[in-house]
C-alpha cells in the first residue's frame, strides 16, 4: 500500500503543479507554501470542515464530497466579493483506498480548475472521514462585502432559487418521491452547488452587505441583521423557488424548508435604493438572477409575512452543530 507522501504526490501534488497561479511562489513540496499579494489587493481567508454523516451522507461519492468541500469555501469568498486564488486541504480518512482517492482527486480538481484556484498544500491523516479546506481570495482594497453594511430602507435580494437542496434531503429521507431526472437535478444542487463567484464580484460596487446562504435564508439573513443592527421584513411569496420545488412543495412536511433549510449556497445581499438600477443592469447582462424579497427596517428582528401581511411563525431554523446531531 502506498505511503502518505506517495499518496499526496500521486493524487494531489502532480495535478496541483499544473494549475498554479502567478501569485503562488511555491506550492506543494516544501514545509509550507509561499504566496504573494499584489499591490492594491487584500487577502480574504475562509475555512470549512465537512464531516461524514454530518455534512454529507456516508454513501456520497468521493468526487461529490471533494467538489462540495471546496465549493462551500468558494461560496464564502463569493459572499465577500473576492476572487478565489488558492486553498489548502486537510484530509482524514479511515483507509488509503486508492480508487476512492482517485475519484476524490478528480472531483476536487474539477471545481478547482473551473474557478482557477490552486491547491498549494495540506495534510493527510488516518481517522474518521473528515475534509477540511482553507481557501483564500483577493479583493480590491476596501471593496470587500461585509455582513455589517445594511441600512434602513435597503432592498433585500437573493440570487438564484432556494429550496432544491432541502428537497434533495427530503428525497434521501424517503419523504418525497421524485422521478429519475428530478432526483438527479436536486441532488446536483445538494452535492455540487455552484459558488456565485461571478455574481459576488459584480456586487462590489452595488451591494452594501452580503452573505452566502449555507444555513438557510432565515438564519443567514439574521446574521446580517445582527451585524448591521437593523431588522427586516421578507415577503414569503417573493422567495424565488425552482419549478421542481413548486411542484412538490405541498408534499413537504415543513412548508418553510426553502427558507429554513441550508445548502443553497446562493447569495443574500442588500442594495441601497439608488443602486437598484445598477443591479437591474447586471441582470440584463446575464450576470445572475437576482430577486427582491424584502426591505431592511429599523425595528430589530426578521419578520416573514404571508400574502395577507401576517407574520409567519418560523420556530427552529438553521443548522447549529451543537443543537443537532446530524443534517442527515
pLDDT digits (tens, 9 = 90+) for 220-238: 999 999 999 999 999 999 9
For residue 327, pLDDT over 50 is answered with: no
Which grid cell sits at 58? 456516508
* Eight-state DSSP code of residue 310: P
The half-sphere exposure of 145 on its side-chain side, counting CA atoms within 13 A, is 32
Give the mean pLDDT of 26-33: 90
Query: What is the C-alpha to C-alpha distance for residues 312 and 3, in angstroms, rounded to an integer?
Result: 56
Contact 140, 83 (CB under 8 A): no
pLDDT at 20 over 90: no
Q: Determine the Cα–Cα distance for residues 104 and 192; give it in Å rounded to an integer.
A: 13
Q: How far is CA 314 from the centre of its chain?
A: 23
**Mean pLDDT value across residues 57-73:** 95
- pLDDT band per the 50, 70, 90 thresholds, residue 317: low
**Total-model pTM:** 0.93
Model confidence at 50: pLDDT above 90: yes
b/e map 273-297, b = 16+ CB within 10 Å: eebbeebeebeeeebbebbebbbbb
CB atoms inside a 10 Å sphere around CB 210: 29
- 303-316: average pLDDT: 87
pLDDT (mean) for 47-57: 91
**Poorest-confidence range of 15-24, 58-67, 205-214, 293-302?**
15-24
CATH number of 147-305: 3.90.650.10
How far, in Å, CA of 140 to CA of 203, rounded?
13
Q: Map residue 269 onto helix, strand or coil.
A: strand
Residue that the C-alpha cell 505511503 belongs to: 3
Which spans in 19-86 are helix H? 62-79
What is the CA angle 234-239-243, rounded to 5? 170
Residue whose C-alpha cell reads 476524490 in the numeric block: 104
Same fold, 4-140 and 147-305: no
For residue 63, CA distances in Å to 69, 70, 87, 145 come to 10, 11, 17, 31
User: Taking Cα atoms as reference points, which of 32, 5, 28, 31 lies closest to residue 119?
Assistant: 28
Distance of CA 61 to the CA centre of its chain: 19
pLDDT at 304: 96
Neighbour tally for 206: CB within 10 Å: 21
CA distances from 253 to 178, 248, 265, 269, 316 (A): 15, 10, 22, 28, 14
- Listed by start position, the domains of the chain span 4-140, 147-305
User: Higher-confidence residue: 73 or 30?
Assistant: 73
Domain 4-140: CATH superfamily, name plus number = PurM-like, N-terminal domain (3.30.1330.10)
Amino acid at each position: 500500500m502506498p505511503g502518505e507522501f506517495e499518496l499526496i504526490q500521486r493524487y494531489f501534488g502532480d495535478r496541483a503543479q499544473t494549475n498554479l497561479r502567478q501569485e503562488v511562489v511555491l506550492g506543494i513540496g516544501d514545509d509550507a507554501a509561499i504566496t504573494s499579494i499584489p499591490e492594491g489587493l487584500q487577502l480574504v481567508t475562509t475555512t470549512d470542515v465537512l464531516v461524514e454523516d454530518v455534512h454529507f451522507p456516508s454513501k456520497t461519492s468521493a468526487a461529490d464530497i471533494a467538489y462540495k468541500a471546496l465549493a462551500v469555501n468558494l461560496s464564502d469568498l463569493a459572499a465577500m466579493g473576492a476572487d478565489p486564488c488558492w486553498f489548502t486541504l486537510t484530509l482524514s480518512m479511515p483507509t488509503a483506498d486508492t480508487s476512492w482517492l482517485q475519484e476524490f482527486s478528480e472531483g476536487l480538481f474539477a471545481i478547482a480548475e473551473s474557478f482557477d484556484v490552486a491547491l498549494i498544500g495540506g495534510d493527510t491523516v488516518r481517522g474518521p472521514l473528515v475534509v477540511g479546506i482553507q481557501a483564500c481570495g483577493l479583493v480590491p482594497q476596501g471593496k470587500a462585502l461585509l455582513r455589517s453594511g445594511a441600512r434602513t430602507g435597503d432592498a433585500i435580494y437573493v440570487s438564484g432559487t432556494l429550496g432544491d437542496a432541502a428537497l434533495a434531503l427530503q428525497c434521501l429521507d424517503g419523504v418525497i418521491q421524485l422521478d429519475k431526472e428530478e432526483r438527479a437535478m436536486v441532488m446536483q444542487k445538494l452535492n455540487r452547488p455552484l459558488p456565485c463567484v461571478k455574481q459576488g464580484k459584480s456586487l462590489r460596487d452595488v451591494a452594501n452587505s452580503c452573505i452566502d446562504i449555507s444555513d438557510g435564508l432565515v438564519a443567514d439573513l439574521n446574521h446580517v441583521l445582527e451585524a448591521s443592527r437593523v431588522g427586516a421584513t421578507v415577503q414569503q411569496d417573493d422567495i424565488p423557488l425552482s419549478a421542481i420545488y413548486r411542484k412538490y412543495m405541498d408534499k413537504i412536511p415543513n412548508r418553510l424548508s426553502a427558507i429554513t433549510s441550508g445548502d443553497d449556497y446562493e447569495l443574500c445581499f442588500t442594495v441601497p435604493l439608488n443602486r437598484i438600477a445598477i443591479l437591474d443592469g447586471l441582470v440584463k447582462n446575464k450576470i445572475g438572477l437576482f430577486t427582491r424579497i424584502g426591505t431592511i427596517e429599523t425595528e430589530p428582528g426578521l419578520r416573514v409575512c404571508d400574502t395577507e401581511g401576517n407574520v409567519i411563525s418560523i420556530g427552529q431554523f438553521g443548522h447549529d452543530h451543537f443543537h443537532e446531531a446530524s443534517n442527515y
